Amino acid sequence: MEVLRNRYAPVGRERKSYGDRCGAAKPAIGARWLAAGFFVLWMLAIPRAMLAKDADCLSCHADKTMQDASGKNVGVDATAFHSSIHGSLACSDCHASIHEYPHPDHPAAVECATCHADQAKGLKGSVHAKASAHPCASCHGDAHAIFAKDDVRSAVYPLNIPRTCGTCHGDHLLAKKYGLQNVYSAYMDSIHGYAVSKEGLLVAANCMSCHGSHHILGHNDPKSPTYKTNIPNTCGTCHGGVEDQYLGGVHGKAVASGDLKAPVCTDCHTAHAILQPTMASFRMQSTPICGSCHQGRFATYGDTFHSQLGLLGGYVQTARCWDCHGAHEILPASDPRSPVAPANLIETCGKCHADANASFVQYQPHANPRDRRLNPALYYIRLFMNLLLWSVLGFFALHTLLWFLRSRREQAKNGHAGEAKHD
């Protein structure tokens, strides 16, 4: 028995100590539950307090026609506010200087930067920094009815952005006053504007896609996405394949080397009134666009059958510059990949002329009969034809003059003879 007592004595003592520990832990567990309960009650009390404060404010400001002493409307649509992105905030979170009624005569302006520091920092250095007394509300709308940017009710929802920006950039008076470009109507008639307004494509380029949202800079600022050397990358955000082609061509390489005279996307397509390249209006204006830089080539093109056919009116399908040279990856004729490289001419011309062969492609679309060094045969043929033309015209002019003088002499002679016979 003694052995058994000794064997189980430790067990008994262990059970006792375990019981003691459990008994000692009970007050600690109760304290934790009590603290958790107070925390939950505190969290529940905060929204109620906020609602109570909001209810106090809205007891007056729910009147949508309410105005302050200066005549500014201070009414709030309570329904819109509570469903907005700011609906969970208390009024005093933004109107920090207002704590009681009556309000101060000159309450402090609302500082959006208190919560939106990054956006405020970007706006500070942008062209919109001094656009209005409160530039945030100018774009986002009523501060009490601001919705998330992915909400269709938001003023900065992708499909609503053109109309929001057009409030200023489509106003003739504001455009005249501040020297703004009135670009809203041009954009809305463009391929991008059509995709947004008619097709409802969220991926279509809107104002923000090219200019940014808060840190908007002037197009002459090298940091701006619309600065000339940055435009290929800006457009390439959507048109990645075209950007790769452009950068591989002579124009893209020239821009990359710092040549600001080389064309970028907006030089050929414009910035806002961008047309579908397959439209007749774009095809008809594409050659003069290229000619604005390549004046010599444009002049020689104007002498060709392709140009004359197009100038007759309505011949949209006649060959333009980019039909032969390509649209974006434009390469010199010395590059074997170029569509105007000698080895590729049959294929290039064959797109329109199915019977093109080696003899056919000997045609020179930019032959210059005034350049004796480059086109000696054509130069002398033109010289001969001009001399022949002027010789023939000169001969007939001299012949007509002599005939006129002889006829006058004959008339005078016959007139005197008639008078003598009459006498």
State how far the alpha carbon of 176 is from the alpha carbons of 131, 168, 169, 416, in Å: 14, 11, 10, 80
Asked if 207 and 162 count as a contact pair (C-beta separation under 8 A), the reply is yes
Asked if 354 and 361 count as a contact pair (C-beta separation under 8 A), the reply is no
- pTM of the complete model: 0.71
Tokens 């307004």: give the residue.
Answer: 197
**Gap between the Cα atoms of 372 and 214, Å rounded:** 58
- Partners of 67 in the beta sheet? 73
Gyration radius of the chain's alpha carbons = 42
pLDDT recorded at residue 217: 94
State how far the alpha carbon of 211 is from the alpha carbons of 18, 53, 362, in Å: 71, 40, 47
H or E element that contains 361: none
Question: CA neighbours within 13 Å on the CB side: how many for 92?
Answer: 14
pLDDT recorded at residue 172: 86
pLDDT in tens, the chain (423 residues): 344 344 434 444 444 443 444 444 444 556 666 666 655 554 444 444 444 456 678 888 888 888 887 788 888 988 889 899 998 888 888 888 888 888 887 888 888 999 999 999 999 889 998 877 788 988 999 889 999 999 999 999 999 999 999 998 998 888 888 877 789 999 999 999 999 999 999 999 999 999 999 999 999 999 999 999 999 999 999 999 999 999 999 999 999 998 999 999 999 999 999 999 888 888 888 888 998 899 888 888 887 888 887 777 656 778 888 889 999 999 999 999 999 999 999 999 999 898 999 999 888 888 788 778 877 888 889 899 999 999 999 999 999 999 999 998 888 888 766 555 555
**Gap between the Cα atoms of 184 and 89, Å rounded:** 35
Asked if 256 and 247 count as a contact pair (C-beta separation under 8 A), the reply is yes
**Gap between the Cα atoms of 290 and 229, Å rounded:** 19
Q: Is the dihedral of CA 312, 313, 319, 322 positive or negative?
A: positive
In DSSP notation, 205-258 reads --HHHHH-SSS---TTSTTSTTSGGGHHHHHHTT-HHHHHHHHHSHHHHHHHTT
Asked if 208 and 202 count as a contact pair (C-beta separation under 8 A), the reply is no
pLDDT recorded at residue 45: 46
Domain ranges of the chain: 120-216, 231-274, 278-367, 368-404
pLDDT recorded at residue 11: 41
Tokens 């043929």: give the residue.
Answer: 381
Tokens 């208190």: give the residue.
Answer: 114
